[in-house]
Amino acid sequence: MCRALVQRILGAEPVKTRIGKLAVGLAANCDAGEPAVEQLMLANLPNASSLPFVAVLTHEGEWLAGYSGGRATKDFVAMLDRVEKLGKLDASPAVQKQLNVLADAAEKSVSAGKWSAVLKAARVAGKSFGRCEGRTRIRAAMQRARDWAQGQFEGVVERTRSGGHTAPEIKRLKAVSRAFRGEAEATEAAAGVKALSQLNRVRAVEARGSAAKDLRARFAKELGGTRWAKLFVEATTADK
């Protein structure tokens, strides 16, 4: 679907935001369609002839609404209204109860700085479907956890570039890695530990009175596009 068509259908940003809260988007190629998608569309829009073909389903694949051809923004919004009133996108009472308990635990873990517990709650929540307040609270707690990790990374770079010792920073990054095992933050922390080890090598060379310009440039290039490349851009007071 071309960008202009998407913009014409979705209209203003609030509508896009609402869709993002309501559903997960899936684009299917109508020229080489998947059999399951084709069967679904033929069963529910048998006379469809104009692109786009649009469908809103539950996570179990139940058809809720759909149409073919262009639609004015107000008509699209009216369809979203109808879908929401059905209540079929909401979590079941059992799931809502479970997620409310998890959300309480996740929020307490945020306050205590127990980030691995927040991740555990988010992973359990990810195994269920449906909208509810508990899921929203868990996502907010998870965002707090990710924000904390990013703050740790930024602090490591800032302190090290200002002349700080690498040992406590490596320890800090390893703590992030343990808390976020299996997540992107753990991979980022591991990259930071490697970069600090490389910086130790640079500092050792320069401590002997030798220039490490080429070494700095090499490591900076290897880490290009990452925050850790900043460690090698120029010598700090401690490095000199």
Nearest one of 87, 93, 84, 146 to 115, comparing CA atoms: 146
Answer yes or no: is 15 within a domain: yes
Domains identified in the chain, total number: 2
Answer yes or no: is 125 within a domain: yes
Res 4: pLDDT:
47
Answer yes or no: is 237 within a domain: no
Per-residue burial over 206-232, b if 16 or more Cβ lie within 10 Å, else e, is beeeeebeebbeebbeebeeebbbebb
Nearest one of 152, 30, 194 to 40, comparing CA atoms: 30
Calculate the average pLDDT of the chain.
86
- For residue 213, give the amino acid letter: K
Residues 149 and 110 in one domain: yes
Residue at a domain's end among 51, 86, 121 = 86
Residues 110 and 181 in one domain: yes
Res 15: pLDDT:
79
Res 234: pLDDT:
63
**For the segment 29-43, what is each residue's pLDDT rounded down to a tens digit?**
877 778 888 888 888
Q: 220 and 232 in contact (C-beta within 8 Å)? A: yes
Res 20: pLDDT:
76
Burial of 68 (0-12, 13-18, 19+ CB in 10 A): middle
Average pLDDT over residues 200-225: 86
Residue at a domain's end among 32, 66, 86 = 86
Residue at a domain's end among 47, 66, 86 = 86
Q: Which domain holds residue 170?
A: 93-232
Q: In the structure, what pLDDT confidence band is assigned to residue 191 with cuts at 50, 70 and 90?
A: very high
Residues 217 and 103 in one domain: yes
